[in-house]
Structure 1
Amino acid sequence: MRIFHILLWAFIATGTISAVHAEPAVATIGQTSETTTLSGLITDIDGEPLAGAVVRIDGTSFACSANVEGKYQLKARLKKGDLIKVTFLGMNPVEVIYDGQSKLDFTLAPDSNSLDEVVVTAEPNINNIDIRARSGVVQTVDMKRLNEKPMTDISLALQGTVPGLIVTNTGELGSKPQIRIRGNQSLRVGDAANEPLFILDGKVISSDAFRTLNPQDIKEIKVLKDAAACALYGIKASNGVIEITSKRGSYFGTVDVTYSLGMGATLKGRRGVKVMRSDEKLELERLMMNEATPGYRYSEDYYRRRYPNSPDLDAMIASGKAVLDSLRGINTDWFNELIRVAMYQNHNLSVRGGSEKSSYFVSANIATQ
């Protein structure tokens, strides 16, 4: 037994039986652990290189793209029977079964469903954009109804034409009407901080310039009230936008001459308050005992309090009574004196024409009130 142990130890020491502890070889049918390089050229049917075309082994993460010359080089663990896919935007994909080759070229044909050409044409006027009207935030003013209103100021004519558009006439002499779309947005003093943005044929104009426009020269007016205004014009449109499209010339070779006349009268309207007569005003002044008013200054109460011991007291009372009697006979109706029926007339003349090469539109307006 001792001799057997010695011999076994000798075998182990010399490495004769070391193969007993070696790992078994792993083998997979049809697969190799070596990396294979596949290269080639990718072009279209005209022979032009397709830069950026993608070559991918189906079912794996191995892929590469072609360079500017259309050449590609794919390094992966390839085996026969793998499916190779080549794709490019606008082209029909190509699929090839790998058969062990090292070089493989591809030719891709155009996709028949792709668009040949897309032409984007910008509108000359921002009013022609239709996408805003579909969002429900754009209101169009009825120009026929606007022109029928007997007013020389287009700002006043806008009153009641569009829901949410508020036009307030302060009534002060020489003051312009206040136009609001979203109400007052700022606490700053002045009308400019709260009035909407006025756009004429794509250009910004002031509210004073808007008031001078002739309604007969306007083709269309749109009112933007919500987010569409800010999307187009930025923070300047936070109070809303009033877009005006003017009339243009004709390209049909004809000349159109249009003349319109508008006449009317502005009535006094109703009285705001009922005023006192002169005798009532004098009596009120006497009761208030204000020496700066004639009702008390010439009254008997004033003379008896101011000159109780004067020998001319009776004469002064009689003189004051005469003055008051003369004042009581004056009853001027200042409502009729200051506010009268105002006549106005508005003349509009326009000439429109042109040809295939050019067009023109000329107009003149005279308004008196």
Structure 2
Amino acid sequence: MTIDTPTKRRSEPAPAPELRRVTDLRGVGDSLAGKLANLGVTTIQDLLFLLPLRYEDRTRVVPIGSVSVGERAVVEGDVLLSEVAFRGRRQLLCRIADGSGAVTLRFFHFSSAQQQALARGVRVRCFGEIRRGPGGNEIIHPEYRRILTDGVAPPEEALTPIYPLTEGVQQGRLRQLTATAMREFANRPVCDWLPEAIVEELRLPSLREALDYLHRPPPDANLALLATGQHPAQRRLAFEELLAHQLSLRLLRREIQRDPGWKFQPGARLVQRFLETLPFQLTSAQARAWAEIEEDLGRPNPMLRLVQGDVGCGKTVVAALAAVRAVESGFQAAVMAPTELLAEQHARNFSAWLAPLDLNLALITGRRTGAGRVRALGELASGGA
């Protein structure tokens, strides 16, 4: 007697932490997730690879009296005056001072909560570009935070990243989300796809080190290298991306090579006649390109080749040679052009080159209609062209 026991249903394996949706992060709902999707961010991993466009040095608090017009700086001071003014438009004006000087913070868009946060007597630290205003130096819409009067707020420990933005997502929110993603990333083993030997040979940082550095560069980071994309951390990610791209192309090529193709039979008498009747001789570059193509055509796999060259360098005659080789093996050949003008130009050249070989040519364009089109299609269907 046999006893049937119910089989346990396997649960789907949980995705790797970095592949989870951004909605798994605290404070990210469907609305914010939709906005992040405009930046190509749908997973936590996408956040990790949303790299800054540039960086700002906010690691030093500068005395207000020493800043210059046009300078972007971090200043800190006590709010001496906070008022809503109507000077052409409604605006919030806050005057802060630190003993060395004073500067006005000007907000054209503000809420009642901001107005209360910037009340008189509050100490704030803000960042922005110093401009010359009607009442002296000012900063328009600075980034700011309140400083407790009974404590000391340390300056930023790293350079401040400036990320690409989309409507409805501010820099502060994006930095917060990226920092959260980095904390999750730091608490688990990282799969580094590059072999250790290659990383050491190229003197590249690990994946974790590269991401840590790019999201939180130290104050002494080389801004010139970062600005030009030449920093080792940036080169590490660029190398991995290029490697992944090349590997995907290699896999695609391998799949294509598995498909059966038409192997052209040996023999080149028609090709030789074509070359003899040409009013010119092939250049060494044309001859080399044709030799490689002819070798491909003799294989039982589809050819995957791009002939690259400047305008007028002779690519068309190489294509004509391939067409003649196809006809010699009992096939037809088609040449496609991106415009009707170019198609007509190719048709004239091919007709002149193929006439001595008694090979018929049919031209089909979007503009060609009526009996001429029907006749051309009939010749193609019957093998007469």
Measured against the shorter chain, the TM-score band is: under 0.3
- The normalised TM-score by structure 2 is 0.18
Please identify which structure carries the higher helix content. Answer: 2
Bigger radius of gyration: 1
Please identify which structure carries the higher strand content. Answer: 1
- The normalised TM-score by structure 1 is 0.19
